[in-house]
Structure 1
């Protein structure tokens, strides 16, 4: 975002080294996830994104049903840059990062303070401040940031120069403030930036094998596709519809990759809820205890243009072979929690506010699955029975049909197939109806669909050639 407001600033704190919290504090019993993907979208409130009438149905319905839903996920401040900095390093907001750093300036004095926080104002952090990228490289792991429309690797101006990407331009909708890695001397002063901070169009090639896929992939759409701009500079509709279209294009590529299928985790998050003059529901709340979201030593108001301790409630979705579809966790999380969770998976220390005592991290509340399937799902299709007037006998195509009820949410419909089929599901509640399909279903596969209504009927048609098996279930 790009705004201006008056902000009181303070710099206080005891001197200490900017080192990560020791690995002894790491969580135990986590799944063997070794490839983490994070897609960051922009400026949308939970109440807008995940409403029944959401303009992002792929995210709010399809992906929620396929993975884990984290309704209690918060940003840590306003505006954008401070949230991205927190995700990468655990550093709290300062007045410059809250204003999205129109001048790409040194963080001064940059001296170390309590809880791993650098003291001062500015956007380019000293070499002593480390990031998740530094941690991974130090542990022999790999990382990449994939930035849409960046054009060249590690794109940033000279320190002390204006940021000319604050607004989208025709043919260039890259926003440097959504690329956290170029704000750290530990990255930009060495070869790591050229090697790791790359344009998004390199991701498909990297997904070709597990070996070529980085252990940590941070994906940033451009100012249209991340939902930031309400109307895009190229005339397209922006906002949630554009973000949803981006996810429809990229999520299947990621989840279909060898690395994800083997040991992957995909997180879809928003940096912050709206704040004036953004459209949408303004919110500067912060995640509640046990989640930790201090204001930090360098600002008196993380809410920026509105008074408040955080960046508002945004919600998040997680997909993984280690997350059972339909999982919902009530535990509160924020960007520091996400950083800590990634560090835990790779056995790393904790940076900045990710290392606060009691800081929340993903655990058994989210990791509810059993991992990748070790082989094909057993089933026996046999020969196709004779259809009567185009209707196949019960069990010819569908091996199992069941409704999974969820307290406070619309239920899920689970279907297991004996053979490949064309599937159409129509759910009805009173005069309302919603149709999904036709979609191609694979033999021996299990699918789950989020039913739009809490009560009603679902009509299922699983077609093979000109015949079909038909079921109706009440929910």
Structure 2
């Protein structure tokens, strides 16, 4: 019955067309999307004058486009990752980072907006994700998680807490700074109940080998650094500075490998953004854009406001003019919708929201007029 319910939900999602044929025909034929998610920094700190992320704020922005009005969808952390891959809005447990790894409990199906109604952490198998959509369309995907394979007692792939147990990855450990809450794929039964989870949710150390050939590079690549190198911790448990300084070093190591790969050069798109803005202090930001809906399970996705704050994003592709700047408002749901459109998929969750604008020729401003490089 669970399999049947999931298939029906997925068919329903596919029944919501991604865009008109004319609209999708105007998009470049992107074949490989790479997403890197960093942690807890607002736009001004990252991209403003004096940013300690020099590689991100200066080098990468000159290679691609800076989205100055890109917003996260909630606080504290996990709810943003869930939104990025499923379009599901926050609920009180995901807003609290699911300290206890519990099943989502609620209505036995999705509401009219594609939302699961209830509360909890691990969504039922009838809640579709971009991973499920890609697999159904015979495209490939992988989540690459730094430090996932570093624990001597935990699985090296598809790593997550046991159901109804304490999440012991909430704090970094020396030599193992993996955080399950920054790995959205392990919060969906459609993924963790499948044998393919061990093939698709893997340590970051597997990425260089996969990048060696176009045929082994997934169509959809989701990269999560560890708690030090995503900028979350500062200082880090191993003595490194953390924050933007360590996040910038991570990008300097991994971005050249990605953009230098044949898969990226062959119709690739790189997206670097943050899960959410600041969650404490004077920089706390719970602003939103794009008429973000609060969802059925919480009145305030940003705890004290409608969203997760303005974080910005950088996009790099042969179809994007280097050094360009874009002030069109986008958020995590819009990013999900844009990726679905690039792969000619339906829309899931709030990616299907009426009036939500996906990336168009404002982003892909070197297409179809020819390459800018």
Residue of structure 2 equivalent to 1:440: none
Q: Does 1:81 align with 2:78?
A: yes
How many angstroms does 1:23 deviate by?
A: 2.1
Residue of structure 1 equivalent to 2:316: 319
SS state at 2:266 partner: helix
Q: Is the 8 A contact 2:89 2:294 kept in 1?
A: yes
SS state at 1:267 partner: strand
**Structure 1 pair 35/188, CA: closer, same or farther in 2 (3 Å)?**
same
Aligned residue runs from structure 1 range 76-475, under 5 A: 76-111=73-108, 112-151=110-149, 152-276=156-280, 281-287=283-289, 291-304=290-303, 307-370=304-367
What runs of 5+ residues in structure 2 fail to find an aligned partner? 1-7, 150-155
Q: Is the 8 A contact 1:58 1:244 kept in 2?
A: yes
Residue of structure 1 equivalent to 2:50: 53
Q: Does 1:70 align with 2:72?
A: no
Q: Distance in 1 between matches of 2:45 and 2:234?
A: 14
Q: Is the 8 A contact 1:82 1:93 kept in 2?
A: yes
Q: Distance in 2 between matches of 1:56 and 1:238?
A: 11
Worse-matched range after superposition: 209-218 or 109-118: 109-118
Residue of structure 1 equivalent to 2:30: 33
**Structure 1 pair 280/194, CA: closer, same or farther in 2 (3 Å)?**
farther
Q: Is the 8 A contact 2:361 2:367 kept in 1?
A: no
SS state at 1:260 partner: helix
**Structure 1 pair 166/146, CA: closer, same or farther in 2 (3 Å)?**
same
**Structure 1 pair 155/371, CA: closer, same or farther in 2 (3 Å)?**
farther
SS state at 1:254 partner: helix
How many angstroms does 1:34 deviate by?
A: 0.7
How many angstroms does 1:371 deviate by?
A: 8.2
Deviations, residues 13-67 of structure 1 (Å, cap 9, x unaligned): xxx9673152263542100101000000000000100011001011001100110
Residue of structure 2 equivalent to 1:23: 17
What runs of 5+ residues in structure 1 fail to find an aligned partner? 1-15, 378-445, 447-475
RMSD: 1.8
Q: Which has the larger radius of gyration?
A: 1
Q: Is the 8 A contact 2:19 2:341 kept in 1?
A: no
Give the structure-1-normalised TM-score.
Answer: 0.72
Q: Distance in 1 between matches of 2:291 and 2:330?
A: 8
SS state at 2:202 partner: strand
**Structure 1 pair 371/161, CA: closer, same or farther in 2 (3 Å)?**
farther
Residue of structure 1 equivalent to 2:153: none
Q: Does 1:42 align with 2:65?
A: no
Compare the two structures and name the one with the higher helix fraction.
2
SS state at 1:319 partner: strand
How many angstroms does 1:114 deviate by?
A: 2.4
Q: Is the 8 A contact 1:72 1:330 kept in 2?
A: yes
How many angstroms does 1:280 deviate by?
A: 6.4
How many angstroms does 1:370 deviate by?
A: 4.6
SS state at 1:23 partner: coil
Q: How many residues align?
A: 354
Q: Is the 8 A contact 2:18 2:344 kept in 1?
A: no
Deviations, residues 233-254 of structure 1 (Å, cap 9, x unaligned): 0000010000000000000000
**Structure 1 pair 33/238, CA: closer, same or farther in 2 (3 Å)?**
same
SS state at 2:94 partner: helix
SS state at 2:113 partner: helix
Bigger relative contact order (CA 8 A; separation at least 6): 2
Q: Distance in 2 between matches of 1:138 and 1:210?
A: 20
Q: Distance in 2 between matches of 1:164 and 1:23?
A: 40
How many angstroms does 1:109 deviate by?
A: 1.5
Q: Is the 8 A contact 2:64 2:320 kept in 1?
A: yes
Q: Is the 8 A contact 1:72 1:313 kept in 2?
A: yes
